[in-house]
Amino acid sequence: MILSPSILAADFCRLGAQIEEADKAGADYIHIDVMDGLFVPSISFGMPVISSIRKATKRTFDVHLMIQDPIRYIDTFKKCGAEIITVHYEACDDVDAVISAIHAAGCKAGLSIKPGTPTEVLFPYLDKVEMVLVMTVEPGFGGQKFIDYTLDKITAVRKEINRRGVSCNVEIDGGVTRENIDMILDAGANVIVAGSSVSTSDLRSLFARSTFC
Ligand code: DX5
Ligand code: ZN
């Protein structure tokens, strides 16, 4: 299991210190939610913030772009320190071109779907990306409730990955709690984003499960 705490839930007054805490508490990735007020209703933060926090940790920056036409900004996010760049299927005119741009920039590529988008749209890309991200809430805000029907989407994408024998990671994002984490792992997710439920001081124990931790 790869843990990717989301900084959207951080106290932005102490962002650097909180990222250092997450690092010490056992985070594998740092999940960075970029929102443009167009693809999603909210606006979060952008390049200057990501460049600044790059100094706070060596952990992998897992940048989740909730922006329209992300191809415009791939090189810029790479320069800011992104290592994994995830874009939304729904936000791209030409998904193959965006994946190529991410790889050309030297980053790993992730492809995400909203809860209402059919899981099958991911299938043509499973051998082209390093990660798929199944949103388990509507993208745009932290602190929402996990949408139960997304469990079937996680199961479906994991089944297809196994059937093809490809090594794509399955990330999930939104509404993760101590109560539902076992179900999510059982469905086949292996990269877990968590925002509001994370207390950085006990990041690993939040997700403690004998088979994983
Ligand atoms: C929502 C973001 C998430 C968010 C998760 O659009 O993509 O990464 O920070 O927050 P929680 O864990 O509070 O649902
Ligand atoms: Zn996210």
Q: Is 156 in the pocket of ligand 1 (CB under 6 A)?
A: no
Q: What is the pLDDT of residue 198?
A: 82
Looking at residue 160, its amino acid is E
Looking at residue 178, its amino acid is R
Mean pLDDT value across the chain: 93
> Quick check: is 75 catalytic?
no
Q: What is the pLDDT of residue 114?
A: 98
Mutate to test the pocket of ligand 1, among 112, 134, 137 (most ligand atoms within 8 A of CB): 137
Q: What is the pLDDT of residue 213?
A: 31
Q: What is the pLDDT of residue 212?
A: 33
pLDDT at 94 over 90: yes
Match 């998904």 to its residue by tokens: 95
Show the CA angle centred on residue 108, arms to residues 107 and 114, nearest 5°.
Answer: 120
Show the CA angle centred on residue 97, arms to residues 138 and 4, nearest 5°.
Answer: 40
Segment 117-164, tens digit of pLDDT: 999 999 999 999 999 999 999 999 999 999 999 999 999 999 999 999
